[in-house]
Amino acid sequence: MPELPEVETVRRSLLDKIVGQRIQSLEVGDFAGVLDGHRGEDVLARIAGRVVQDVRRRAKYLIIVLDDATAIVVHLRMTGRLSAVPHSEPVLRFQHLALGFENGLDLRFSDQRKFGRVIHVPDIELERLDRRLGREPLERGFSASWLQERLQRRPGKIKAVLLDQGLIGGLGNIYVDESLFRARIHPERRANTLSAGEVRRIHRAIRGVLRAAVDGQGTTFSSFADAAGNSGGYGGQLQVYGRGGKEACPRCGAPLERTVVGGRGTSLCPRCQPAAAN
């Protein structure tokens, strides 16, 4: 599933393509559910003639801000993909929606698994979304002291806690595994047992991993690409994610292990990330 670095990569790739452009058309394919229960003709009636003012990101959501204070919110989920292509291009594989602009480009949404959504919402719904999501890990408010104060209240396993979008917005399975490996913290440690020093290591690791992944334009395993069709370049820098039970630790050489934490496949090094009594 695309996480913060991937969604941020898509956001940046869209800025020079659709900001300032006026919406002309909306075409919906066979999967009407892409609009989350809304009819295509109703959505078009609301957005036709509107101009894109900005493209923002909140956690794993892409927010296309229109000039009437409404927005088109895109959640890519597992296999969703946005492509900016000329209107004359043939329909893409797994395409469910095409948003046409005056400059001759279409913003097309394709999704093999059909879990992603493209929803037009008023500003009050944006406010509700913002309140529902946790702190952005690359913004100033995400400090080590803030994280420590929150983790002290949470008895759950640290990996599951970090994946909670109501606590931290945008972290997912890939970058939590990578961050905990960098911080030398076992993913099953109870969050409220971590020392201040350990929390500082986790905080530093999260920010370092995410910044590097954004610089690398995200990670591509199968379907992720930016709006121009470019794959992410960070995959080669992953240290442990997806390698448990297959490869050795790049730090100490011990066999990496694979387990399940909070229902999510998890890779770790048992030597670099020793378990602690909880």
Please write the tens of the pLDDT for every residue from 186-240. 999 999 999 999 999 999 999 999 999 999 999 988 778 999 999 999 999 999 9
**Residue 179, pLDDT score:** 98
SS3 assignment, position 168: strand
Of the candidates 1, 79, 13, the one whose C-alpha atom is nearest the C-alpha of residue 217 is 13
**Residue 108, pLDDT score:** 98
**Residue 107, pLDDT score:** 98
Q: State the average pLDDT over residues 168-182.
A: 98
DSSP-assigned states of every residue in 190-206: BGGG--HHHHHHHHHHH
C-beta separation of 158 from 147 below 8 A? no
What's the CATH architecture for 144-268?
A: Orthogonal Bundle (1.10)
Please state, as a whole number, how many other Cβ atoms lie within 10 Å of the Cβ of residue 42.
Answer: 11
Provide the pLDDT confidence category of residue 61 given band limits of 50, 70 and 90: very high
C-beta separation of 94 from 110 below 8 A? yes
Q: State the average pLDDT over residues 238-263.
A: 96
Beta-carbon contacts of residue 248 (< 8 Å; ≥ 6 apart): 254, 255, 256
Give the range among 17-21, 224-228, 273-277 with minimum mean pLDDT. 273-277
Q: Full-prediction pTM beyond 0.85?
A: yes
C-beta separation of 245 from 254 below 8 A? no
Say yes or no to pLDDT of 133 above 90.
yes
Q: State the average pLDDT over residues 155-161.
A: 98
H or E stretch covering 173: helix 173-183
Say yes or no to pLDDT of 264 above 90.
yes
Q: State the average pLDDT over residues 114-122.
A: 97
Domain ranges of the chain: 4-132, 144-268
Strands 264-268 and 257-261: antiparallel
**Residue 69, pLDDT score:** 94
If you classify domain 4-132 with CATH, what class do you get?
alpha beta
- Please indicate whether the domains covering 4-132 and 144-268 agree at the CATH topology level: no
- Work out the percent of the chain whose per-residue pLDDT is above 90: 96
Mean pLDDT (the chain, rounded): 96
Say yes or no to pLDDT of 1 above 80.
no
List the catalytic residues. 2-3, 60, 264
Provide the pLDDT confidence category of residue 278 given band limits of 50, 70 and 90: very low
- The per-residue pLDDT for range 219-233, each reduced to its tens digit, is 988 778 999 999 999
- Work out the percent of the chain whose per-residue pLDDT is above 70: 99
Provide the pLDDT confidence category of residue 276 given band limits of 50, 70 and 90: confident
Say yes or no to pLDDT of 38 above 60.
yes
Q: State the average pLDDT over residues 238-248.
A: 96
